[in-house]
A = this chain, B = another copy of it.
């Protein structure tokens, strides 16, 4: 925990504008997304508040924000911890993804569609893969699916799914072979993009559904193995 705190102190410079609690949330959120605070880590009010130079009240407000986002869990009188997803959580995340993402594709109007965001995400994934940056590939994959949801043009749906994807990241952090988990989907994302460019919604929806089933299966498999190791 010691080197994590010294690292955190570097972020102190970022505390400049807007609400302090929100800025602290932003910092912690990205630290969690990066895996800097792995799932299960306990976030002590004292040490983090000290490292960031904010009061306990402000820090607790940040914790509440992130707890609402499901990134932290709060245990009474024990503090907050980076969420550890259960297999059931992962399954529910994919259930929600399948429901919403497939519905988005299904609900697309007549082609052509504005697919720039999707194309950019695919390209990002390829670049990251070329450099062996598997965490970057994971980010690009998530980006792809966020862009996909964005095609629905619904602010609320976007936000709903944003938090679901943030949760999904938590699951990715417990795997030790990110390449095997993320690489295969670069090509499948590209395939979905191609099909959408031709305007074949139904094919895209079917591809997406199978994609999500496969991905869930893979993640759960790795997840169970990983949990088994620790037990």
Give the A interface residue count (CB, 8 A).
Answer: 30
Nearest Cβ on chain B to A203's Cβ, whole angstroms = 17
Nearest B-chain residue to A149, judged by Cβ: B99
Nearest B-chain residue to A22, judged by Cβ: B76
How many copies, total? 2
Is A157 engaged at the interface, CB distance under 8 Å to the other chain? yes
Interface class of chain A by DSSP: helix
Complex Cα distance A219/B157, Å? Answer: 20
Judge whether B154 and A96 touch: CB under 8 Å.
Answer: yes
Picked from B18, B68, B76, B95, the residue with its CB within 8 Å of the CB of A153 is B95
Is A57 engaged at the interface, CB distance under 8 Å to the other chain? yes
Which residues from chain B contact A103 at a C-beta distance below 8 Å?
A: 99-100, 102-103, 106
Judge whether B99 and A19 touch: CB under 8 Å.
Answer: no
Complex Cα distance A16/B98, Å? Answer: 31
Which residues from chain B contact A160 at a C-beta distance below 8 Å?
A: 96, 160
Is A65 engaged at the interface, CB distance under 8 Å to the other chain? yes
The contact sample of 17 A-B pairs, CB cut-off 8 A, is A18-B76, A60-B61, A61-B61, A95-B152, A95-B153, A95-B156, A96-B154, A96-B156, A96-B160, A99-B104, A99-B107, A99-B157, A100-B100, A100-B103, A103-B103, A103-B106, A106-B106
